[in-house]
Amino acid sequence: MIEQTLKVYNNGNAEFEALLNEDLSQRSVKENSIVKGKIEKIEEKFITIDVKGKSSGMIDKTELSREELDNLKVGGELEVYIERVENKVGDIVLSVEKARRAKSWKKIEDAFAKKEKVSGVVKNSVKGGFIVEIFGIFTFCPSSQLSDRPIKNTSEFFNKPLEFYIIKIDNVRMNVISSRRAILEEVKNQNKDEVISKFKVNDIVEGKVKAITSYGLFVSIENLDCLLHSSEVSYLKISNLNDMFSVGDSVKVQILEIDQEAKRISLSIKSMLPDPFVTIQEKYTVGSDYDVKITKLSDFGAFAELDEGIVGLIHSSEIKHMQKNVNPKSVFKIGEVIKVRLKEVDTEKRKISFSYKDTQPNPMNDFLEKYPVGSIVDAKVVNKKDFGLFLNTGDSEIDIFVHYKQISFNETSKDLDDYTKGQSVQLKIIDIKDEKVNGSIRALKKDPFNFFDDKKVKDIISIRVAEVLDNAIKVNVGEDRYSTTIKKGDIALEKADQRPNRFAPGDTLDAMISELDLTARKVKLSIKDLEKHQQAEAVEKYGSTASGSSLADILGTALKKKDQE
């Protein structure tokens, strides 16, 4: 028939040519295309579809839903996808499922191109994100794109319609990436515009502290997060904003700047207040007492408001007498009004310091009235450390400290072993430094160093060996046995005799005082200097060193002469 038609065509039958072209266009089909086919037959497992191709094709009933199957009838139409025009046996290969998918993919492409919102349902979670079904196509939504806030409970997003944007597609791999966050941010920006339109620069508004950072506060104003920079909080220098604010606090602020393009509002607190350092020194006097209101408590002190916008610090060391590190929370309450002394105003560093303890009675005054410096008191050991003893008289909260060097004139920490907690001790109050009372036990004992009160350098004294060391000997001096050390180099004049093991504990010797400082309680004894002195005397009395005679020769001759006489 086609050959005959062509023959007619070649003879110039234009009318028949037009009819032929119309018939061919109606009957021609292309692979990977969607067409409407006519239902020819409905069987138990298959449905025969005529798509005006070379032959009819069949589709499996499993590709259709129960509702679709119930509505099928011979002669009706069904949209199908042409996979192949002709298979091995000459049949056309059709698919309803692929037709649906192809149509859905076209919708995905259109939504991506037009940047349209689409409805999707979160089906399940996978590594790095979630699977979202859109138009029957499974898309991937990264975890960061499902919400504009940290997700605590993912189940709240599952199996319910949500709006998404298609933000990326891959036609080759048929991959789709979707985003819900893009829509949320779009809505936020719309809300930002609405909020920003309500305000103007210099307006005073109230907001809530949403977050605290090292550089400032984020204050929420009608759900719009606005920045209150740390430099705009106060005229005073604030080292840590957490010491003054907590998340959830209500704050009154002034709008400093509105950035329409970035949709941001900058805030200020200090712009509403006069600069306190301009008039503070005219209005307030350092050293005077004032009522202040506690506004914030921290580990190192309490912040107190002297006047509106004028906040100073009561350091923990300025809360109680005799205590350096006091926990402010154990003394003050937020909102409490107390009396403090203005201690310092630093206009350069913009710092104000208060003292609470200076307005309170000092227990030290009562203690000194009862136990002035120089008093001898009876006290009990309440604590013992490696460096000394703490004792208390029992009628005061103030402890007396005795350093281990003030226990005896030996000045050794071993003396602490002679004392136990609860032991009664008599001591002398020797001084008060940095609000600490210092005492001495040895001040009530006889000082063995007094032996040297009437002595001077080059005096010769008797000593007793107490201990022989590797490079020295320890000796005792006087009736009270003042202990000192003679080093190896001072034991003898001759190097061969400079051996500590020449001596034994208990030996009595003579030595010369070579150095003496009564104020610093320092003395140096030397047997070597004594021998030098004796040699010089012998030479002067019995001969000249020019003769080459040794000290032994000179002394030997002198003794022999004396015996003869």
**Domain ranges within the chain, ordered by starting residue:** 31-100, 115-186, 198-272, 276-359, 363-444, 448-545
For domain 115-186, give the fold.
OB fold (Dihydrolipoamide Acetyltransferase, E2P) (2.40.50)
In this prediction, residue 311 carries a pLDDT of 86
Long-range contacts of 362-371 (CB under 8 A, 24+ apart): 362/321, 363/321, 363/322, 363/396, 363/397, 363/398, 364/321, 364/322, 364/398, 364/432, 364/435, 364/437, 366/396, 367/396, 367/398, 367/437, 368/432, 370/395, 370/396, 371/429, 371/437
Q: What is the pLDDT of residue 288?
A: 93
> 363-444 sits in which CATH class?
mainly beta
Q: Is the predicted pLDDT of residue 329 greater than 50, yes or no?
A: yes
Long-range contacts of 275-283 (CB under 8 A, 24+ apart): 275/235, 276/235, 276/236, 276/307, 276/309, 276/310, 277/235, 277/345, 277/347, 277/350, 280/310, 280/345, 280/352, 281/345, 281/347, 283/307
Question: Which stretch of 303-312, 339-348, 462-471 has the lowest confidence by average pLDDT?
Answer: 303-312
Mean per-residue pLDDT, 482-504: 91
Domain 448-545 class, CATH top level = mainly beta
* pLDDT confidence of residue 270: 86
Which carries the bigger pLDDT value, residue 86 or residue 453?
453
What is the number of residues in the chain? 565
Q: Write the secondary structure of 44-55 as one string of H (helix), E (strand) and C (coil).
A: CCEEEEECCCCC
Of 344-348, 471-475, 489-493, the least confident: 344-348
Tens of pLDDT, residues 164-177: 999 999 888 878 99
The two structure tokens encoding residue 203: 């307006």
Q: Are strands 337-346 and 204-212 parallel, antiparallel or unpaired?
A: unpaired
pTM (2 d.p.)? 0.41
Mean pLDDT of 341-369: 88
CATH of the domain spanning 31-100 = 2.40.50.140
Interval 18-59: pLDDT, tens: 554 544 444 456 776 777 777 787 888 888 777 875 567 788
pLDDT at 563: 60
Would the pLDDT of 398 be above 60? yes
In tens, the pLDDT along 105-164 reads: 888 889 999 889 999 999 888 999 999 999 888 899 999 999 888 888 888 899 889 999
The strand pair at 436-440 and 400-403 is best described as parallel
Q: Closest by alpha carbon to 251, among 220, 222, 278, 277?
A: 220
| Domain covering 276-359, topology | OB fold (Dihydrolipoamide Acetyltransferase, E2P) (2.40.50)
pLDDT tier at 476, thresholds 50, 70, 90: very high
Which whole-number Å values give the CA distances from 287 to 158, 212, 322, 364, 447, in the listed order? 67, 35, 20, 20, 45
pLDDT of 5 reads: 45
Helix (H) or strand (E) holding 30: none
**Can 198-272 and 363-444 be said to share one CATH topology?**
yes
**Mean pLDDT across 251-276:** 86
> Which of 190 and 20 is assigned the larger pLDDT?
190
Region 223-243 average pLDDT? 83
- Residue 59's CB: how many other CB atoms inside 10 A? 22
Q: What is 198-272's CATH number?
A: 2.40.50.140
Q: Output the pLDDT for position 26.
A: 45
Query: For residue 460, is pLDDT > 80?
Result: yes
Mean of the pLDDT values across residues 74-102?
A: 76
pLDDT, the chain, mean:
84
Work out the pLDDT band at 559, boundaries 50, 70, 90. Answer: low
> Residue 552: which pLDDT band, with cuts at 50, 70 and 90?
low
Give me the pLDDT at residue 9, please: 44
Is 200 within 8 Å of 207 (Cβ atoms)? no
Q: What is the pLDDT of residues 531-542, one digit of tens each?
A: 999 888 888 877
pLDDT of res. 450: 87
pLDDT in tens, 91-105: 788 877 777 788 888
pLDDT band at 1 (very low <50, low <70, confident <90, very high): very low
Specify the pLDDT at position 122.
93
In this prediction, residue 496 has a pLDDT band, given cuts at 50, 70 and 90, of confident
Question: What pLDDT shows up at residue 243?
Answer: 81
The confidence score (pLDDT) of residue 309 equals: 67
pLDDT category of residue 397 using cuts at 50, 70 and 90: confident
